[in-house]
Structure 1
Amino acid sequence: MSALLLPLLLVAVGGALDFIRAFNEKEQLQSEIDSAMLLAAKAEGADAQFEAAKSMLATKTGEDIDIEELLNVSQNSDGSVTGTFDASVKTYFLQLVGIETLPITVSATAIASGGSNAGGGCIYVLGSKGQDVLINSGANVHSDACEVHVQSKASPAFIMNSGSKIETARFCVRGTNYIKNGGTLTNLEVGCIPDCDPYEGELTEPTVQSTCTTSGWKDGTSHTLKPGVHCETGFNGSPTITFEPGLHIIKGRMIINSNATVIAKGVTFYFPDVSSEIRINGGVTFTGAAPTSGTYKGILMFEKTSDATNNANKQQYIFNGSNGEVLEGIIYLPNRDVTYNSTTNQVSRISLVVNTMIMNSSNWLIEPYTGGSDSAASGTGVRLVK
């Protein structure tokens, strides 16, 4: 009997694993069709909308599949656009009983709403792998107008621990499962439709020169860095570091030690891959403001997102300006799992896009950034409606 039942048990247990894989793949595809339809809703005409959705899916999936055959895009009477994407997942166990694939269908509807892309959002969290927002004890965030948009449908979508306080105009979470161990969280909405990435495909990525403007470790109490490419750079001691206005490309890791002072006004930082970062070792005073004109108007910090391989390799990014941090501009880091440890005694006006977020013990005063970006300003504001 055991010998007869063993194949059935194998198919039953293995089949459950196949269904779990299919469910996880569907969750990922849902995120991808959401992004595709948000881009399509900005385009004019059915052909342009289809091509926009197709190009986005090609970037997201990074797979050799016939997207044109699997994707359907249709216009609705209210001006919205709906996309449906049919796919399948190869099975490993169910094929033993003749089921070689499991079908997957995802759909999304988006509509152009006009006006600024970013709206009242201050923080956009795009990940949906579980515990995509973690609010630890001591986190203290206050805003009169900021909205937090969390795309996660995981279980749990977010965790909030006791001794923390998050006061924002709106805290919208797509999923309904979360863990709240105490603390104060105002204006929470679960099961809502959060605004998606407002800058996806909108920011102009620069060409990275092979030569380095700055490289290696620097001694001294004061440094002024000209715009250019800074390669694997660090600063000994606790100097004052001034970035001149313009585009600063951080290639590799730039290390800034404790008790340094950083001044970056009229500056845009660009990271050409997920291994590049500004690593601050705490105790730093950081003042950063985006340019008010030019190609990178409104953009304080952004990273390369046009490479599917780079996008698939999410990395940690830590904000450690614990002696005081004031930021102004768009911070676009959709491939980073951000940890925020900083303290502000003045209001930072930001629009921050990340993959996941951890808020540790900090005092964070934020409001929406309304300066806008020339790269994104021409785009029409869009939102998901389904």
Structure 2
Amino acid sequence: MVGRFTRHAIRFFRNNDGNFAVITALASVPLLCAASLAIDYTNASFEAEKLQAALDGATLKAAQLYGQGQTEEQATEGGNEMFFGNWKRPKGIADAGVVAPLPSVNFVYTEAGQQVTAVADYAFDYDPVFLTRLSFPISRHSGASYQNAAEACILALNPTANRAFEVSGSSKVDTSGCTITANSISDEAIYVGGSGNLKTECLYTPGKVSASPSNTKLACGSAHEGSAPAVDPFQRKKMPTAGQAVNLSGCGVNYVGGGGGGGNCNGTGKTSNKPPEGYAVTLKPGTYAGLEIKGNVKLQPGDYVIDGGVLKFASQSVVTGDGVTFFLLNGAQLDIHGGSTFNVTAPTSGTWAGFSIVADRSNTAPAVINGNSYSHLNGIIYMPASQEVQYAGNGGTGGECVRIVAQEITMIGNSTFKLDCKAELADNKINNPGATTLIQ
């Protein structure tokens, strides 16, 4: 029996066909392993490239949003929306078909001068297709910077209007040091006509500028036509809500509309029918169904919410107030007549620090702001939906710390704007679109 087995074994190993089968079987094992490794490596490299591209896009977006005035939370939210919109969950991350939420991207922001930087890292455990027990992490790093362009004093948001920003008549406007920006694509997006004169750092618009060179002086040499539209830097700020309307019946008929000679004047006392010379009515912050100021009125610091009525400074009014913001809600209108004298400054702290007049984002009512040579207004006039703001500021050489945001803006008088207003505007800025680049 043993001899017979031995003879069969010798015959098998001497057979060439048998040798080839054995060798082929033995050689196929490393070949299959090598092929599996090559496929897994290729798939992993592909996933790593997708991760890097998505992370780069997200970091660029986050840096841009933060550089344009969004908070860290808002910029991070925008960056994550970009990331997960471009990078889908690779196969193999989920266990047994259970889709667990992936961790968000964490961005770290730094700021140096006019440059903002955002950096981020992201990693996930990749499960190979064949070598499933050899999962390994894939991680990528990205960094991007956003360089702010020049600061704007005026931003007209309307995307198509003719003369979205206009200087005409005999108006003289000086925004030396800061720019004027109109988002319109019109051939007359920015217009300077008549005997009007404009002096500014530069002009930015996706459309064109219609202006006589003799009436326009630009520090930058020539206007930036065809530029990218600027974003509303304050678009995510939360508006206040209206409360119980203030009763003005005791505030004096010659001082405020609806006022009388008896009763309580907004918690500040009674105003007699014949007050002494130089007397001023004092108003407190609160909600007003409308506020017409006709005489000498002092405003205590705080928020004055105009709920659906009209905020009006009559021609003989004298209005003073430090740390004051007017909010125009529910279609409230603004009418500041020529001849009125006002000296109003914005608050330097709080949610709306740096803002003097704010209209809600559905308020399309036009506005007129036209005081006299003794009037001063410091703060941002933010009326993003207003179809037109007509502004005549103080043309004095000292200038004013004013910024204007509206759909269309027309200068109807002599105005001089200051550039260095960090304290008065609570460090709020309106910047033209800058450049965003990858740095890491």
1:191 to 226, 233, 236: 226
State the match for 1:333 in structure 2.
Answer: 383
Matched, 1:124 2:155: yes
Q: Is the 8 A contact 1:225 1:241 kept in 2?
A: yes
Q: Is the 8 A contact 2:341 2:371 kept in 1?
A: yes
Matched, 1:288 2:344: yes
**Structure 1 residues 195 and 144: CA distance shift in structure 2, 3 A:** same
Deviation at 1:240? 1.3
Spell out the pairing of 1:98-109 with structure 2 (5 A cutoff): none
Q: Is the 8 A contact 1:127 1:151 kept in 2?
A: yes
State the match for 2:282 in structure 1.
Answer: 224
Q: Is the 8 A contact 1:138 1:163 kept in 2?
A: yes
Matched, 1:257 2:314: yes
Q: Which segment drifts farther, 243-252 or 320-329?
A: 320-329
Deviation at 1:373? 6.7
Matched, 1:211 2:269: no
Matched, 1:319 2:351: no
**Structure 1 residues 262 and 372: CA distance shift in structure 2, 3 A:** closer
Q: Which segment drifts farther, 155-164 or 223-232?
A: 155-164
Deviation at 1:341? 2.9
Matched, 1:359 2:411: yes
**Where does the alignment leave 5 or more consecutive residues of structure 1 unmatched?**
1-33, 54-77, 81-110
Q: Is the 8 A contact 1:325 1:344 kept in 2?
A: no
One-letter identity of the residue aligned with 2:171? A
String of CA shifts for 1:285-316, please: whole Å, max 9, x gaps: 121111122333222221222xxxx2xx6221
Spell out the pairing of 1:132-211 with structure 2 (5 A cutoff): 132-176=164-208, 178=210, 180=212, 183-187=215-219, 188-193=223-228, 195-201=230-236, 203-211=237-245
String of CA shifts for 1:187-235, please: whole Å, max 9, x gaps: 433223354322121x231121143354752367632110001112324
Deviation at 1:167? 0.9
State the match for 1:233 in structure 2.
Answer: 291
String of CA shifts for 1:318-373, please: whole Å, max 9, x gaps: 1111343322222211111111134343421122211101112x221111332377
> Counterpart of 1:268 in 2: which secondary structure?
strand
Cα distance in 2 between the residues matched to 1:380 and 1:170: 14
Cα distance in 2 between the residues matched to 1:292 and 1:333: 19
One-letter identity of the residue aligned with 2:355? I
Cα distance in 2 between the residues matched to 1:383 and 1:157: 17
1:298 to 351, 354, 363: 354
**Structure 1 residues 208 and 141: CA distance shift in structure 2, 3 A:** same
**Structure 1 residues 43 and 139: CA distance shift in structure 2, 3 A:** same
Q: Is the 8 A contact 2:380 2:404 kept in 1?
A: yes
> Counterpart of 2:81 in 1: which secondary structure?
helix
One-letter identity of the residue aligned with 1:285? T
CA-based RMSD of the aligned residues comes to: 3.9
Which has a greater percent of strand?
A: 1
> Counterpart of 1:329 in 2: which secondary structure?
strand
Q: Is the 8 A contact 1:196 1:384 kept in 2?
A: no
How many correspondences in the alignment? Answer: 286
String of CA shifts for 1:19-66, please: whole Å, max 9, x gaps: xxxxxxxxxxxxxxx99x97699522676334999xxxxxxxxxxxxx
> Counterpart of 1:291 in 2: which secondary structure?
coil
Matched, 1:370 2:402: no
**Where does the alignment leave 5 or more consecutive residues of structure 2 unmatched?**
1-63, 86-115, 119-143, 250-256, 261-272, 274-278
Cα distance in 2 between the residues matched to 1:40 and 1:385: 19
String of CA shifts for 1:160-184, please: whole Å, max 9, x gaps: 1131111111222221353549623
Q: Is the 8 A contact 1:40 1:50 kept in 2?
A: no
**Structure 1 residues 179 and 295: CA distance shift in structure 2, 3 A:** closer
Q: Is the 8 A contact 2:315 2:340 kept in 1?
A: yes
> Counterpart of 1:48 in 2: which secondary structure?
helix
Q: Is the 8 A contact 2:153 2:430 kept in 1?
A: no
One-letter identity of the residue aligned with 1:276? A
Q: Is the 8 A contact 2:147 2:434 kept in 1?
A: no
Q: Is the 8 A contact 1:224 1:244 kept in 2?
A: yes
Cα distance in 1 between the residues matched to 2:282 and 2:181: 37
Q: Which segment drifts farther, 296-305 or 181-190?
A: 181-190
Q: Is the 8 A contact 1:350 1:366 kept in 2?
A: yes
> Counterpart of 1:43 in 2: which secondary structure?
helix
**Structure 1 residues 230 and 323: CA distance shift in structure 2, 3 A:** farther
One-letter identity of the residue aligned with 1:320? N
TM-score normalised by structure 1 residue count:
0.63
Q: Is the 8 A contact 2:332 2:365 kept in 1?
A: no
Matched, 1:244 2:300: yes
TM-score normalised by structure 2 residue count:
0.56
